[in-house]
Structure formats: structure tokens, C-alpha cells
Amino acid sequence: MLIELAHIPENYKILYVHGGAQMQFSAVPLNLINRTSARKAAYVESGNFAKLANKEAARFGDIENFRQ
């Protein structure tokens, strides 16, 4: 039903996971930082969620911070 309502193409898959938005704070750097030999990323701290994401990403590599 979601596929029809959202007009999602047939070649896309929907992944339902628990954890909410904060789970992505570790999932994104785990998958992206670990794919590079430099193991670096840049984060813009624009608020509380960005600050939490930055802190979690630092567990996986070197983080460059840009603050507003």
C-alpha cells in the first residue's frame, strides 16, 4: 500500500527498521566513513540533533566540525 501511495518505483525496496532517527547517527558513519581509507567526515552543527550525530560519528573516524 505504501508503495502505491508514495509512487515508489518497482526497483526500490522499503526497509522498515526500529530505532528512529537517532539510530541513523551511527548507521550513516558506520556505512560511509568506513568505506574510505581516510576515515574522515565533516559535520555542520546546527542544533541538538546535529551535535548528537557528530558525537556518534566520532566513534568511527576523524570528524571536522563546522558550527553555525
pLDDT, residue 29, reads: 87
Whether 10 is covered by a domain: the verdict is: no
pLDDT, residue 6, reads: 92
Number of domains the chain is built from? 1
Q: pLDDT tens-digit profile of 14-56? A: 888 777 778 888 888 888 887 778 888 888 989 999 999 999 9
Whether 13 is covered by a domain: the verdict is: no
Residue range(s) defining the domain that contains residue 34: 19-67
> Measured between alpha carbons, how far is 50 from 25 in angstroms, rounded to an integer?
9
pLDDT, residue 9, reads: 94
pTM comes to 0.63
34 contacts 10 by C-beta, under 8 angstroms: no
pLDDT (average), residues 54-61: 91
Whether 2 is covered by a domain: the verdict is: no
Whether 25 is covered by a domain: the verdict is: yes
Identify the helix (H) or strand (E) that includes residue 22: helix 20-32
For the record, the C-alpha cell of 66 comes out as 563546522
pLDDT at 11 over 90: yes
Whether 48 is covered by a domain: the verdict is: yes
